[in-house]
Amino acid sequence: MPNLVEPDTQFREHFVDFRVAKTVNTIPYDASLPQKPAKDTPLGNHSSKKVTIVGMGQVGLGCVCAILNQDICGTLALIDISAKKLEGEAKDFQQGSAFHQHTTILASDTYDVSENSDMVVITAGVAQQPGESRLSLVDRNANILKKIMPEVLKYSPNATILIVSNPCDIMTAIAAKLAGPDFPQGKVFGAGTCLDTSRFQTLIAQSMDLDPKNVHGYIIGEHGDSSIPVWSSVRVGALPLLEPGEEPNDTLKKIHKSVVNSAYDIISLKGYTNWAIGMSTAYICKAVLNDTRTIIPVSTCVRGLYDVEGDVFLSLPCSLSSHGVQRVAVLPLTDSEKATFQKCAKSIWEVQKPIWENLLPKSEPKEAGGTMLPSLQELLFIVPAAWAYLCLVGSPSKVTHFYTPIVSGNSLAEAWEIVGSPALLNSPFEAAQQCVQTDLIPVGASERQSVLVLFGPPFVAYEEELGSDAGQPQLLHDAIATDFSFLAKVDSICRQGVEKTAGASWLLLAETCAVLNRSVSLGAVQVPVMAWWEAKMEQTATPSIM
Ligand SMILES: NC(=O)C1=CN([C@@H]2O[C@H](COP(=O)(O)OP(=O)(O)OC[C@H]3O[C@@H](n4cnc5c(N)ncnc54)[C@H](O)[C@@H]3O)[C@@H](O)[C@H]2O)C=CC1
Ligand SMILES: CC(=O)C(=O)O
C-alpha cells in the first residue's frame, strides 16, 4: 500500500525560481579538486542513529548533556585522549540513564568505538585562555585535527562530520580538505555562527521582551571576532527590524558587539563556554539525523559567493539534511554587509592559507631507488650540521635563504639548553625559532607550518655515508635538487639511526609535521621516533641526552 502521508509536492514547481535565485547547492571546497556530490539515502530508524563526540572536555560534555536530554540518538560514543577522565565522565552520564530515553554510551581513547557513526562531532583541541582570540589556536588545533580525521574516516567513512573546535571555520576547511575529494561535499561543516546567532536572537528578544524564537535573523561570516550581523534581513515576528536602506543605530551596534564579546565575557567569568555550544550542537545534530532540512547558519565553503575567491569556509544559513549542508541560502546583503563579508573572508584566508596549501601532497610521491620519496616542495630543505638538522615544512615562497650549517663545536647539551627546556616542549616551533634567533642552527625561514627538529647520532652516520661534503649545505642543497636518490640515502640512514638508538639518544621535537602524516620515506622514519618520544615523555619530564 502506498504511503498515505507522503509530502505534498504539488506546489513545489512554484518555488523553483525562489530556490534557484536564493540558494545554491553546496560548493566544492577546493576549485582544483573534483567533488563528489552527496546522494540522498533513505532515512534510518531514529533510535538506530549513532553519534560520536571526539573531545570530552567542557564543550564535549555540554554536547553530550544536550544530546542525551533531547533523545537524539540511540548510541553515543565518546572519545578522548585522556582515558581516565573519560571513564569518569562516561560513567557519570550512564548513571543518569533512568532520566531520558535509552541511549547506549560507549567511551574509549581509541576510535573503534566510533565505528559506523552517522555523525561525528569534533570538539577536541585547545581552548582559549581569558583574553585569547580563537584564531591564535589555529596551529595547535590543526595539528590535533590532522591526527583525528584519518581515524574518524577510517571507522565511519559515511558519517556527517561537524567541527566545533576553534577557530571553527578554519578547522572546518582543514577537516574538509583532509576528508579528501571523494568525500561528498557538504558532509563536513562547522558549527559556525549557529551559536552567535542564538546569542544575537536572545539579546534582541530580551531587549524587546519577546521569545528569541520570534527573532528571525542571522549572524554570518566568521564564528569569532569578525562575525557579521545581517541587520537588513532581521525580522521580529514577520516585521522587518529596519526599513529598507536604514542603517543600524548605536543600540543595535552594541548588541552585535555584545555578541562578539560573549565568549570573552563568559571565559573571563568561568574559564570556558560549554552549555550554549552544547545546545547548538544538539540542535544541529537533530537536524542532520532527522534529515529535517532546517535552515541553520553553519560554516561551509563560500568560494564564489559574494565574490569571495578563496577556499574559505564561513557561515551562511544552510539547509541541513542527513548529508550535512544541502543548500546554502544566499541572503541579499547590502553593499556594506557584502564588503564586510569579503573583508572577513580575506582575513580568514590569510590565516588559513599557509596551512591549507601544505595540507595534502601537491604531487604524487616519486619512486626512486625503490623508496617512496617526498617531492622537493614537501621536503623544503635539510640543513645538515654536526649535531643536528632542521627540516622545515612550510610555504616554499617563505624560504628565502640557505645558511651555513651549525657551527662546529656545538654540543647536544648546548642545543638542549636552548630548545629543550620543558616549557618549550609544548611549542617546538618556538624552540626552533630560538635556535634560529641565536644562530645555533641557522635557517632562513621565519614563517612556516611545522618544524621538526632532530638531534642525535644518526647524523654522524649521515656524515660518514655522505663523505666530507656533508657539512657543506650548498652542495647538499644541489644534491637534493638534482638527485632524488639522495633522499633515499638520508632515509635509510635515519632508519638505521632509529633502530640503533631507539629509546636512547633521539630527541624529537615536533609540531605534528605534515610529513608525519604522509606515507613517504621520511614520514615512515619519523613515526616510530615520535612514538618513542611520546612514550619517553610519559616517563620523564626532561629527557636525558646521550
Ligand atoms: N565552535 C564553537 O562555538 C565553540 C568552540 N569551542 C572550542 O572547542 C574546543 C574545546 O574546548 P573545551 O572543551 O573548552 O576545551 P577542553 O580543554 O576542556 O577540552 C579539550 C578536550 O580535547 C581533548 N583532546 C585533545 N587532543 C585530543 C585528541 N587528539 N584526540 C581526542 N581528544 C583530544 C582533551 O583531552 C580535552 O578533554 C576549543 O577549541 C574551543 O575553543 C568552544 C566553545 C564554543
Ligand atoms: C569559545 C567560543 O568559541 C564561543 O563560546 O563562542
Nearest to 493 by CA among 469, 462, 463, 464: 462
- The mean pLDDT value for 500-513 works out to 25
How sure is the predictor about 165, in pLDDT bands with cuts at 50, 70 and 90?
very high
Q: Give yes or no for residue 60 CB within 6 A of ligand 1.
A: yes
Residue 133: all three cell numbers together:
582570540
Nearest protein Cα to ligand 1, atom 41: 127
Q: Give yes or no for residue 166 CB within 6 A of ligand 1.
A: yes
**pLDDT value at residue 476:** 32
104-108 and 75-79 strand pairing: parallel
Cα dist. 219→232, 276, 287, 472, 534 in Å? 11, 16, 19, 56, 42
Q: Give yes or no for residue 122 CB within 6 A of ligand 2.
A: no
The best mutation among 81, 89, 132 to test binding of ligand 1, ranked by most ligand atoms within 8 Å of the C-beta, falls on 81
d(CA 422, CA 291): 49
How sure is the predictor about 348, in pLDDT bands with cuts at 50, 70 and 90?
very high
d(CA 113, CA 86): 13
| Cell 619519523 sits on residue | 526
* Backbone phi, psi, residue 14, to 5°: -70, -15
Residue 281: all three cell numbers together:
550542537
d(CA 353, CA 360): 13
Catalytic residue among 223, 256, 323, 401: 223
> Could you confirm whether 223 is annotated as catalytic?
yes
Least confident window among 228-237, 481-490, 497-506, 527-536: 497-506
Q: Give yes or no for residue 166 CB within 6 A of ligand 2.
A: yes
Residue 47: all three cell numbers together:
533510535
Q: Please tell me the distance between residue 301's alpha carbon and the centre of ligand 2 in angstroms.
A: 21
Instruction: Domains for the chain: give ranges and CATH numbers.
Output: 46-359 (3.90.110.10)
**pLDDT value at residue 371:** 31
Nearest protein Cα to ligand 1, atom 29: 144
Of ligand 1's atoms, which has the minimum distance to the CA of residue 272?
14
Task: Look up residue 1 and give its DSSP letter.
Answer: -
What is the reported pTM? 0.69
- The mean pLDDT value for 377-389 works out to 28
How sure is the predictor about 153, in pLDDT bands with cuts at 50, 70 and 90?
very high
Of ligand 1's atoms, which has the minimum distance to the CA of residue 59?
13
**pLDDT value at residue 378:** 32
Burial 280-305 (b: 16+ CB within 10 A, else e): bbbbbbbbbbbbeebbbbbbbbbbeb
Q: Please tell me the distance between residue 161's alpha carbon and the centre of ligand 1 in angstroms.
A: 16
Quickly list DSSP for 151-173.
Answer: HHHHH-TT-EEEE-SSSHHHHHH
How sure is the predictor about 203, in pLDDT bands with cuts at 50, 70 and 90?
very high
Q: In the predicted model, is pLDDT for residue 537 greater than 50?
A: no
ipTM above 0.95 for this complex: yes
Q: Which ligand is nearest to the CA of 193?
A: 1
| Predicted confidence (pLDDT) per residue in 404-428, tens digit | 222 222 333 344 344 333 333 344 3
Q: Please tell me the distance between residue 143's alpha carbon and the centre of ligand 1 in angstroms.
A: 13
